[in-house]
């Protein structure tokens, strides 16, 4: 399948406690020198510095890129760990939130890399959630035409999805993620202990990515989520750990087969076509994961019409998202005309048609020949969705 799975317990001398850690490696057939070492578990945060320093040679310099909130929790700790490992490192901080995933923030991070005298042999560590991974990764792709980097995800969203697969981007006035690059991280270390500082609303929102992965790729995982959704909200419950790891492994398989989204990787955009438009139309009212949750429900309705997805499946989707505490209908006051306009700006939109990654059933994507997405006229989408506003 392109990646190796291995279970292990970390026991070496520098570890402050024994931790159960799952490790695997993403191997990209077209990029023989670009393996990504993935570790999920607890107590891992302390070990990331050691790993980072092992990847960096001699006197090369490094930076941590993080937002103000996450840096206040973990920035100094990571800095001190890196310095103990003799990796000369500086911390570059930007204001938190999707509204700061901008060209301007990216410019400030790039200036920070120059000021920190990070050369082509340097290293970048993105410490935080999806926004930090996207900005840090894009800065790593651009600085000196590309330096190595790693992700230390601290949110459910990043651990379930965005930290893996090398998509990096900033938003432009014309749309979300419009300027970006594929730039694979050398490693992803997800320390579940860092979820303790994640506000509940963000914690829940990230779980929309878990539900997305399950509905498209793993019916068994979907059933497990349904059987005890509240356990997912318990930070120290192994159910959560298993669900995040399952998503990471599923995503690793997909990106191994289709790194650049020529086909199969588009399946991971389920819920996102409407979700991205809703997120923009709601002007900051919805977190990304919340918009994806609503998008998943609306795209399940679309799938009933286009792929024969069972209406009972849509009901299961609604029940699961509600049990997790996520929204399943658009917020009041969203303007349908604005939403239609935003759908037309989707990266996959062409001449009045938008492409959707749709489920055929719970755990099974709709794939037609080599087409992983279905084109639908925006007018048709709006006439179907119009009834829901
Ligand atoms: N978030 C979907 C992907 O990485 O392809």
Here the tokens at position 146 are 């590309």
C-beta of residue 94 within 8 angstroms of C-beta of residue 108: yes
Catalytic residue among 167, 176, 204, 366: 167
Closest ligand 1 atom to the C-alpha of 268?
2
Backbone phi and psi for residue 134, each to the nearest 5 degrees, phi listed first: -70, -45
Low-confidence winner among 54-58, 66-70, 204-208 (lowest mean pLDDT): 54-58
Residue 265 is among the residues annotated as catalytic for this protein: yes
Banded pLDDT at 58 (limits 50, 70, 90): confident
Q: Compute the distance between CA of residue 371 and CA of residue 274 in angstroms, rounded to an integer.
A: 19
Q: Check residue 311 and report its DSSP letter.
A: H
Here the tokens at position 236 are 């120290």
Give pLDDT, residue 309.
Answer: 98
Q: Residue 254: name the closest of 314, 168, 148, 165 by CA.
A: 165
Catalytic residue among 6, 17, 33, 145: 145
Closest ligand 1 atom to the C-alpha of 167?
4
Distance 262 CA to ligand 1 centre (A): 12
Q: Compute the distance between CA of residue 222 and CA of residue 27 in angstroms, rounded to an integer.
A: 27
Residue 251 is among the residues annotated as catalytic for this protein: yes
Give pLDDT, residue 341.
Answer: 83
Residue 183 is among the residues annotated as catalytic for this protein: no
Banded pLDDT at 19 (limits 50, 70, 90): low
Q: What is the pTM for the complete model shown?
A: 0.92
CA nearest ligand 1 atom 3, residue: 268
Q: pLDDT tens, 338-385?
A: 888 888 777 777 777 899 999 999 999 999 999 999 999 988 888 877
Low-confidence winner among 27-31, 154-158, 258-262, 291-295 (lowest mean pLDDT): 27-31
Most confident range, picked from 51-55, 234-238, 264-268: 264-268
Handedness of CA 109, 160, 302, 334 (dihedral sign): negative
**Is 248 touching ligand 1 by the criterion CB < 6 Å?**
no
Give pLDDT, residue 144.
Answer: 97
Low-confidence winner among 7-16, 232-241, 248-257 (lowest mean pLDDT): 7-16
> To the nearest 10°, the Cα dihedral for 365, 366, 372, 376?
-130
Residue 269 is among the residues annotated as catalytic for this protein: yes
Q: Mean pLDDT for the chain?
A: 90
Q: Residue 373: name the closest of 274, 218, 266, 268 by CA.
A: 266
Q: Residue 293: name the closest of 352, 214, 366 by CA.
A: 214
Q: What percent of the chain has pLDDT over 70?
A: 94
* More confident call, 162 vs 16: 162
Distance 385 CA to ligand 1 centre (A): 25
Q: Check residue 331 and report its DSSP letter.
A: P
Here the tokens at position 57 are 């040679």
Q: Compute the distance between CA of residue 158 and CA of residue 136 in angstroms, rounded to an integer.
A: 13
* More confident call, 323 vs 336: 323
- Beta-sheet strands, E only, within 134-224: 148-153, 167-172, 175-182, 187-191
Which residues, listed in sequence order, are joined to residue 123 by a DSSP beta bridge?
Answer: 62, 148
End-to-end CA distance of the chain: 43
Q: What percent of the chain has pLDDT over 90?
A: 76
Catalytic residue among 269, 290, 301, 304: 269
Residue 242 is among the residues annotated as catalytic for this protein: no
**Is 265 touching ligand 1 by the criterion CB < 6 Å?**
yes
> To the nearest 10°, the Cα dihedral for 378, 101, 99, 107?
-130
Catalytic residue among 42, 251, 301, 366: 251
**Is 204 touching ligand 1 by the criterion CB < 6 Å?**
no
Ligand 1 pocket test: which of 183, 251, 259, 264 has the largest number of ligand atoms within 8 Å of its C-beta? 251
Q: pLDDT tens, 61-92?
A: 999 999 999 999 999 999 999 999 999 999 99
In which residue are the tokens 């209406």 written? 311
C-beta of residue 126 within 8 angstroms of C-beta of residue 190: no
Distance 373 CA to ligand 1 centre (A): 14
Residue 209 is among the residues annotated as catalytic for this protein: yes
Ligand 1 pocket test: which of 130, 138, 269 has the largest number of ligand atoms within 8 Å of its C-beta? 269
Give pLDDT, residue 296.
Answer: 98
Distance 6 CA to ligand 1 centre (A): 24
**Is 165 touching ligand 1 by the criterion CB < 6 Å?**
yes
Which residues, listed in sequence order, are joined to residue 3 by a DSSP beta bridge?
Answer: 26
Q: Is the pLDDT of residue 210 over 80?
A: yes
Distance 268 CA to ligand 1 centre (A): 5
CA nearest ligand 1 atom 1, residue: 162
Distance 63 CA to ligand 1 centre (A): 25
Helices (H) and strands (E) in the chain, counts: 14, 14
| Beta strands at 19-26 and 62-67: parallel, antiparallel or unpaired | unpaired
């Amino acid at each position: 399948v392109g990646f190796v799975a291995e279970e292990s317990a970390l026991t070496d001398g520098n570890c402050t406690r024994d931790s159960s850690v799952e490790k695997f490696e993403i191997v990209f057939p077209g990029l023989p020198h670009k393996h990504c070492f993935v570790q999920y578990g607890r107590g891992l945060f302390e070990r990331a510095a050691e790993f980072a320093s092992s990847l960096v040679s001699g006197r090369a310099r490094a930076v941590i890129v993080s937002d103000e909130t996450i840096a206040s929790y973990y920035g100094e700790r990571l800095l001190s760990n890196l310095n103990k490992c003799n990796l000369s490192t500086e911390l570059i901080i930007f204001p938190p939130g999707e509204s700061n995933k901008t060209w301007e923030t990216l410019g400030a991070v790039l200036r920070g890399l120059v000021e920190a005298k990070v050369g082509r042999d340097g290293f970048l560590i993105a410490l935080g959630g999806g926004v930090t991974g996207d900005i840090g990764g894009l800065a790593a792709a651009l600085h000196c035409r590309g330096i190595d980097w790693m992700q230390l995800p601290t949110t459910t969203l990043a651990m379930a999805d965005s930290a893996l697969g090398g998509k990096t981007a900033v938003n432009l006035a014309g749309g979300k993620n419009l300027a970006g690059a594929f730039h694979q991280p050398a490693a992803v270390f997800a320390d579940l202990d860092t979820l303790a500082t994640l506000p509940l609303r963000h914690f829940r929102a990230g779980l929309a990515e878990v539900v997305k992965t399950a509905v498209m790729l793993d019916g068994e995982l979907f059933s497990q989520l349904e059987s005890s959704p509240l356990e997912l909200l318990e930070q120290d419950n192994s159910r959560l750990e298993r669900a995040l790891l399952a998503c990471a492994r599923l995503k690793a398989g997909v990106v191994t087969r289709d790194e650049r989204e020529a086909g199969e990787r588009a399946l991971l955009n389920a819920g996102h076509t409407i979700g991205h438009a809703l997120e923009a139309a709601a002007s900051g009212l919805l977190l990304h994961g919340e918009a994806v949750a609503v998008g998943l429900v609306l795209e399940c309705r679309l799938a009933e019409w286009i792929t024969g997805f069972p209406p009972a499946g849509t009901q299961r989707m609604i029940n699961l998202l509600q049990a997790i505490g996520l929204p399943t209908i658009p917020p009041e006051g969203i303007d349908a005309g604005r939403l239609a306009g935003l759908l037309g700006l989707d990266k996959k939109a062409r001449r009045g048609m938008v492409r959707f990654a749709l489920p055929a059933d719970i755990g099974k994507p709709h794939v037609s020949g080599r087409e992983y997405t279905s084109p639908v006229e925006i007018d048709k989408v709006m006439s179907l969705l119009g009834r829901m506003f």
